Amino acid sequence: MPELRQDPASKRWVIIARERSRRPHAFVREGGMPGPGLAHLPTCPFCSGNEEHTPPESFALRDGTTPNGPGWRVRVVPNKFAALLPAGSTERKTENEFFRWMDGVGTHEVIIESPVHNLYIPFMDDRHVQEIVGTYRERYLTLREDTRFKLILIFKNHGVSAGTSLDHPHSQLVATPVVPTDIRATFQKAFDFFDDTGLCVYCRMLSEELRLGKRVILESDSFAVFHPFASRMPFETWIVPKKHGASFGLITVAEADEFALVLKQVLRKIYFGLKNPDFNLVVQTAPVKDEFEDYFHWHLQILPRLTTAAGFEMGTGIYINVALPEETAQFMRDLKEPELASPSLGPNVAEPPA
Amino acid sequence: MPELRQDPASKRWVIIARERSRRPHAFVREGGMPGPGLAHLPTCPFCSGNEEHTPPESFALRDGTTPNGPGWRVRVVPNKFAALLPAGSTERKTENEFFRWMDGVGTHEVIIESPVHNLYIPFMDDRHVQEIVGTYRERYLTLREDTRFKLILIFKNHGVSAGTSLDHPHSQLVATPVVPTDIRATFQKAFDFFDDTGLCVYCRMLSEELRLGKRVILESDSFAVFHPFASRMPFETWIVPKKHGASFGLITVAEADEFALVLKQVLRKIYFGLKNPDFNLVVQTAPVKDEFEDYFHWHLQILPRLTTAAGFEMGTGIYINVALPEETAQFMRDLKEPELASPSLGPNVAEPPA
């Protein structure tokens, strides 16, 4: 019998299609791992040495090198094809006094994670991943000062079916001048739960998941990783801080460093376990004005693109998941570092260009 | 400057990325139209003569031929890999008194639109398309009698990036035992509009679109077709009945016949204009218990899959649309039947198998 499961926070239902379900190993990329690719691509605007092909950087980690030249470790630039732009006002306008619109005011940045074209997070040394997460935090804290920006979303698209054609490792940041309707809706449900119980629904979810254990992948002192009860897609993965906090922007440097190590471990498991699948990664965080609320809880979601959302999902918002989170979690939990590090499973650390 | 536009009904924002926007002809499939394919495929379970490879039919249009044999025009069968199944109860259960779930009770049917493998709606004669829409109506009216079913969704996935690997022309129907959270949210917004103004927000939208005209593709006596103001993706197309009605299930036979002709005309424009793009089609309709409400308005949405929703869309529900609805509407409006019928643009009507 198939099941309907409800996400306790957003109250959205998903269908767990047991009849159609596939075992976890069925989602491993067929035909093996794609090759490591080139460490440097002369035509790539994100590669070291090609800095003039991006807009001027808004931030970079450098040791005394000149801005917009080589010698950086992580580099942030405005997106050349920005969805939103900093100039403009937040005034609402209408067409025919009915259709509401406003300037597309905001910020859209690219966080270039490495000067090396093929150096993905699973292969970086720990400090490098900490510098990426530190850059996320840095940009968040800078952009939250602009009172026109209501939500700051950090995300990553990896692979063509996840919506990117750029192989060079990068994340993105968008600051929006409105609170998205869907996020407001989830917030309202979380608020209702708090009103009823006096608890943050995510804190409760976390404690239940840790108590049950069957959907947990790994734990550190301050973070837990699990496949949520109402996973929308196979291998959906959440990294949730154990300490309550509504906003990613309020984590300490020490927490960000620990978070980076957990993120690397999780992305290693996904990269080697499923053989470099396409995925989206999203840092779900409170709107800026709600950073101190009791009822929301920031977390990171990884959404592998192993299946395709179709008409039913688009028409209802109900996802059909053809894997059991309990089974996919076990598959991921059982992957251990010796296997992950096996050179037969993938490329070794890429060498930087000469 | 990019724009944010708000859908008046759901209140969801979309970004119209003017800086990144592409002209309508940029979305026409490169490399020309895929060939017409085979009229009959021995291994296809939906082809005439292969009826034993599907579950027994729940409905078919036949002239005296035997059920589950050849000789049908439109045929409805339970989905062999159903997301929901009719047995089971709607009782809510919990895991650890926190995670809520229920049986996946419902119905999941396939509406096989033709016995011919490559006969798509744009090539069918008018009466055939009317029989398909008549079948949609028939199945809706039958299934709404089961009080466990709260919403009956009719949809269609066309092409691999729209989530189907089956070429044979077919639609699907899913009856769910819950009202999807997203549909309830849109309902609430439409209710608020009604409460404020005494008008159905869709009726108002329709009259504004017809008055402005710039996003309208075509009109019949009872239906209008336009690219909505806050289109989520390039060439998003709505077919909206001019007469208020919350539920598709309540249309008359005459209205269904007219609707079928409009649908065929729209799908011809999409097929020839964009050279057979992948798309999803969804009949948005009220939950069964709300069929007579004043504030919702059934309509059909066609969602071409010309771009890929990525991390930003998944994290916020805000779509980034890289085309202007005013421009895509004009492109579609200007396509006329002589061009559409040009044999150089695509296959002629397929011959049924001997």
pLDDT at position A37 over 90 = no
Tell me the C-alpha to C-alpha distance, in Å, between residue A59 and each of A138, B104, B150, B180: 9, 50, 52, 43
Tell me what the mean pLDDT of segment A114-122 comes to.
95
Q: Quick one: A188 exposed, middle or buried, by C-beta within 10 A (0-12, 13-18, 19+)?
A: middle
Task: State the ipTM, two decimals.
Answer: 0.93
- Note whether B319 and B326 are within 8 A (CB): no
Q: Please state the rounded mean pLDDT for residues A287-312.
A: 96
What pLDDT is attached to residue B269? 96
Asked if residue B354 belongs to a domain, the reply is: no
Average confidence (pLDDT) over B4-32: 91
Q: How far is B44 from chain A (nearest CA, A)?
A: 19
Q: What is the mean pLDDT of chain A?
A: 93
Task: Report yes or no on A136 lying in a domain.
Answer: yes
The model's pLDDT over B219-232, given as tens digits with 9 standing for 90+, comes to: 999 999 999 999 99
User: Domain for residue B46, yes or no?
Assistant: yes
What confidence category does residue B268 fall into, taking pLDDT thresholds of 50, 70 and 90? Answer: very high
Query: Hey, is the C-beta of B84 within 8 angstroms of any chain A C-beta?
Result: yes
- The predicted-structure confidence for A159-184, as pLDDT tens digits, reads as follows 999 999 899 999 999 999 999 999 99
**Out of A83, A229, A280, closest to residue B99 by CB:** A229
- Residue B224's alpha-carbon distances to A166, B124, B299, B300, in angstroms, are 40, 22, 10, 11
**Which residues in chain A have their CB less than 8 angstroms from residue B104's CB?**
1-4, 15-18
Residue A353 scores a pLDDT above 70: no
> Once rounded to an integer, what is the mean pLDDT over residues A73-101?
95
Q: What is the DSSP letter of A106?
A: S
Task: Examine the pLDDT at B48 and tell me if it is beyond 90.
Answer: yes
- DSSP alpha helix (H) spans, chain B: 126-143, 181-197, 201-212, 253-273, 311-316, 325-334, 337-340
| Any domain includes B322 | yes
- Residue A347: band (very low, low, confident or very high) from pLDDT cuts 50, 70, 90: very low
Q: Would you state the structure tokens that stand for residue A176, as one six-digit string?
A: 């929006």
Segment A188-225, tens digit of pLDDT: 999 999 999 999 999 999 999 999 999 999 999 999 99
Which residues in A198-298 belong to E strands, given as ranges?
Answer: 216-219, 223-226, 237-241, 279-284
pLDDT at position A292: 95
Say whether A87 and B284 touch across the interface (CB within 8 A).
no
Q: Is residue A351 part of a domain?
A: no
What are residue A51's phi and psi, to 5 degrees? -60, -25
Confidence of residue B200 (pLDDT cuts 50, 70, 90): very high
Residue A350 reports pLDDT greater than 50: no
Q: What is the pLDDT of residue B30?
A: 86
Residue range A296-300: mean pLDDT, rounded: 98
Position B345 pLDDT exceeds 60:
no
What pLDDT does residue A338 have?
58
Contact A301, A236 (CB under 8 A): yes
Question: Is B352 a member of any domain?
Answer: no
User: Could you tell me which residues come within 8 angstroms of residue A31 by beta carbon, excluding any fewer than 6 positions away?
Assistant: none
Residue B291 lies in a domain: yes
pTM score above 0.90: yes
A130 lies in some domain: yes
Minimum mean pLDDT among A109-113, A221-225, B16-20, B203-207: which range?
B16-20
A345/A32 Cα distance (integer angstroms): 8
pLDDT above 70 as % of chain B: 95
Catalytic residue among A128, A170, A297, A299: A170
CATH number at residue A43: 3.30.428.10
Average pLDDT over residues B142-151: 97
Would an 8 Å CB–CB cutoff place A19 in contact with chain B? yes
> Which of A215, A318, A319 has the most B C-beta neighbours within 10 Å, making it the best mutation to test the interface with B?
A318
The two structure tokens encoding residue B253: 């036979």
Chain B, residues 141-160, CB within 8 A of chain A, namely 151, 153, 155-157, 160
Q: Who among A99, A185, A280 is closest to B310 (CB)?
A: A280
Residue B21, pLDDT above cutoff 60: yes
Q: Which amino acid is at A137?
A: R
What contacts B192, CB < 8 A, 6 or more positions away? none
Distance CA A331, CA A328 (A): 5
Q: What is the mean pLDDT of residues B43-65?
A: 97
Contact B172/A8, CB-based, under 8 Å?
A: no
Query: Which among A4, A84, A183 is the nearest to B178, CB-wise?
Result: A4
- Please give the pLDDT value at position A341: 57
Mean pLDDT of B7-20: 92
Q: Looking at the 3D structure of chain B, how many domains does it have? A: 1
Domain that holds residue B93: 3-345
The closest CB to that of B104, out of A1, A84, A182, belongs to: A1
Least confident of A16-25, A73-82, B85-94, B209-218: A16-25
- Tell which A residues from 177 to 196 touch B, by Cβ distance under 8 Å: 177-178, 180-183, 185
Q: Residue B343: what pLDDT?
A: 44
Please indicate if any CB of chain A lies within 8 Å of the CB of B102.
yes
Tens of pLDDT along B89-134?
A: 999 999 999 999 999 999 999 999 999 999 999 999 999 999 999 9
CA atoms within 13 A on the CB side of B192: 10
What is the pLDDT at residue B344? 41
Q: Across the interface, do B314 and A284 touch by the CB < 8 Å criterion?
A: no
Paired tokens of B333? 């409006």
Residue A274 reports pLDDT greater than 70? yes
pLDDT of residue B337: 73
- Considering only CB atoms, which chain B residues are within 8 Å of A163? 308-311
Q: With 90 as the cut, is the pLDDT of residue B154 above it?
A: yes
SS3 track for A307-325: CCCCHHHHHHCCEEECCCH
* Nearest CA-CA distance, residue A84 and chain B, Å: 6
Rounded CA-CA distance B307/B318 in Å is: 14
Residues of A in contact with B163 (CB under 8 A): 308-311
Q: Please name the residues between 257 and 296 in chain A that touch chain B, using a CB distance below 8 Å.
A: 280-284
- Per residue in B206-263, pLDDT tens? 999 999 999 999 999 999 999 999 999 999 999 999 999 999 999 999 999 999 999 9
Q: Region A311-322: what's the mean pLDDT?
A: 96
Could you give the CA distance from residue A316 to residue B150 in angstroms, rounded to a whole number? 12
Distance CA B285, CA B283 (A): 6
**For position A21, what pLDDT does the model report?**
79
- To probe the interface with B, which of A10, A101, A157 has the most B CB atoms within 10 Å? A101
List all residues of chain B from 215 to 234 with a beta carbon under 8 Å from chain A.
229-230
Supply φ then ψ for residue B273, to 5 degrees.
Answer: -70, -40
Catalytic residue check, A297: no
CB < 8 Å from B in window 111-140 of A: none
Q: How many Å apart are CA B322 and CA B17, to the nearest integer?
A: 5
Selected for mutation to probe chain B from A308, A313, A321, A324 (highest B CB count within 10 Å) is: A308
Question: Which of B149, B137, B15, B166 lies closest to B74 in space, CA to CA?
Answer: B137
Cα–Cα distances in Å, from A25 out to A22, A327, A331, B210? 8, 10, 8, 53
Residue B90, token pair as written in the block: 């709607």
Q: In the structure, what pLDDT confidence band is assigned to residue B35 with cuts at 50, 70 and 90?
A: low
Q: What is the pLDDT of residue A351?
A: 41
The catalytic residue among B117, B168, B170, B227 is B170
Residue among A13, A98, A157 whose CB faces B310 most closely: A157
Question: If contacts are CB pairs under 8 Å, which of residues 21-80 in chain B contact chain A?
Answer: none
When pLDDT is averaged across residues B326-353 and rounded to a whole number, the result is 66
Q: How far apart are CA B86 and CA B337, in angstroms?
A: 44
